[in-house]
A = this chain, B = another copy of it.
Amino acid sequence: MAKMVDVARHAGVSIKTVSRVLNNEPHVRETLRDKVRKSVEALGYVPSASARNLRSNRTYTIHLVSHSLRSNFVNAIQFGALQACQERGYRMAVSMVTPGMAENEETLRAWCDNLVKAGKPDGLILMPPMSNVPIVSEIVSDAGIPIVRIGPNRIRDKNATVTIDDQAAARSATEYLIELGHRRIAFVRGKEDQDATHERFAGYQRALADHDIGFDPSLIAPGLFDFETGLAAGDKFLAFENPPTAVFAANDDMAAGVLVAAHRKGISVPDDLSIIGFDDSEIAEKMWPALTTVRQPLQDLGSAATSVLIGGNGWSSSETNSRTKFLPYELITRQSTGPVGED
């Protein structure tokens, strides 16, 4: 395979000049530049990433870390991030923190250490729930590798976070239900170790309080952000003598579960029950009735995170104040919500 010295010989210049041309460095005459480019073309030369990495200590690689890739949420963000990487000539690597690792702090620490020392990525994107784990941020940061966390989190360090304002979003979703006349609004929580759950719940509570609607603890169900727990929550609520007229689930998968629970009981959505989700994930518009939900610009979250890491995004690294970038959310009204029926 052709290497730099071959190109140099072919073009009649030194390898350093070839290097300069390839890296768009100044101080090379245009005529030489052309000659080198032609030689590169003629030999089909492509620089070795390994050698470049070793010498320059930069890998041009962004590493995306998540817990499990099996979710539309992670998938969409990854897509946005990868697209942004490729546009800028960066590669993208992915890793998962398997359930076993996350539990034992020592294992997790070793894993992170290995990740950053071996791979030396130019930046790390932490997906929820890894974005909520302080020691991950800490170890990676200590190694001098910039991080962007995705999604709401309470870690306050020099690293950036890219997210939507989950609390405000949940609040406006709840207010939308209130405006439709709903008063008995149930809420399905997500995983307790993710700050998104708490933020969304806080938004829900805030909306109720703002509209003088008493908080009824029986209208809160636990959840794990998955279909099954949504189904269970729906079954629970719909078994009440006086069931809620609307359910707000902390994500779409759980909302789908509530919807199926309603279908099974022959309860009409949205006539007898309004359902609202969160994320606007892929399934939201494939359900029937199509799900009203809060749209997170997932792809944009991914590409914004990448931009923060690679630069050229207008963020100065010396920025002292807020290191959290909020992207706009949007309430997508579809057919799963409607005015409260007379009872």
Q: How far is the CA of A288 from the CA of B54 in the complex (A)?
A: 54
Chain B residue numbers with a CB within 8 Å of A282 are 70, 72, 283
Tell yes or no: A114 within 8 A of B by CB.
Answer: yes
Taking CB atoms, residues of chain B closer than 8 Å to A78 are: 69, 94
Whether A120 pairs with B49 at a CB distance below 8 angstroms is: yes
- A203 / chain B contacts, CB cutoff of 8 Å: none
List, in ascending order, chain B residues with CB within 8 A of A54's CB: 48, 50-51, 53-54
Q: Report chain B residues within 8 Å CB of A113.
A: 44, 46
Does residue A173 face the partner (Cβ distance < 8 Å to B)? no
* Residues in B whose Cβ lies below 8 Å from that of A119: 49, 91
Which chain B positions have C-beta within 8 A of A79?
A: 68-70, 96
**Distance (Å) between the CB of A302 and the closest chain B CB?**
10
| A205 lies within 8 A of chain B by Cβ | no
Quote the shortest CB–CB distance from A261 to chain B (angstroms).
9
- Assembly CA distance A68 to B96 (angstroms): 20
The residues in A between 245 and 272 inclusive whose CB is less than 8 angstroms from any CB of B are 253, 256-257, 259-260, 263-264
- Distance in Å from the Cβ of A88 to the closest Cβ of chain B? 14
Q: Does A329 lie at the interface of the complex (its beta carbon under 8 Å from any beta carbon of B)?
A: no
Which residue of chain B lies nearest to A286 when distances are taken between CB atoms in the complex?
B256
Q: Complex formed: what's the CA distance from A48 to B121 in Å?
A: 12
Which residues of chain B come closer than 8 Å to A50, judged between CB atoms? 50, 53-54, 59, 120
Contacts of A264 in B (CB 8 A): 288
Any chain B CB within 8 A of the CB of A86?
A: yes
The answer to whether A288 and B286 touch (CB under 8 A), given A50-B50, A86-B95, is: no
Q: Roughly how many angstroms separate A166 CA and B8 CA in the complex, as a whole number? A: 51
Indicate whether A1 reaches chain B with its CB closer than 8 angstroms.
yes
Decide: A120 and B286 in contact? CB cutoff 8 A: no
Q: How far is the CA of A229 from the CA of B270 in the complex (A)?
A: 26
Interface string of A59-82 (1 = CB under 8 A from B): 101000000111010011011001
A79 to B72, CA, bound (A): 12
What is the CB-to-nearest-CB distance from A339 to chain B, in angstroms, rounded to a whole number?
A: 21
User: Which 7 pairs of residues, A with B, have the shortest CB-CB distance?
Assistant: A46-B117, A50-B53, A50-B54, A263-B288, A256-B286, A69-B79, A49-B118
Interface residue ranges, A against B (CB under 8 Å): 1, 44, 46-51, 53-54, 59, 61, 68-70, 72, 75-76, 78-79, 82-83, 86, 91-96, 98, 113-114, 117-120, 227, 253, 256-257, 259-260, 263-264, 282-283, 285-290
Apart from A1-B117, A47-B118, A53-B53: 18 A-B pairs, beta carbons within 8 A:
A44-B113, A49-B53, A49-B119, A50-B120, A68-B79, A69-B79, A70-B75, A70-B79, A75-B75, A78-B94, A83-B96, A86-B96, A91-B93, A91-B95, A227-B286, A257-B286, A264-B288, A287-B287
* 26 A-B pairs whose Cβ atoms sit less than 8 Å apart in the complex: A1-B117, A44-B113, A48-B118, A49-B119, A50-B50, A53-B53, A61-B93, A69-B82, A72-B75, A72-B282, A78-B94, A86-B96, A91-B95, A91-B119, A92-B93, A227-B286, A253-B286, A257-B286, A260-B290, A263-B289, A282-B283, A283-B283, A283-B286, A286-B287, A287-B288, A288-B288
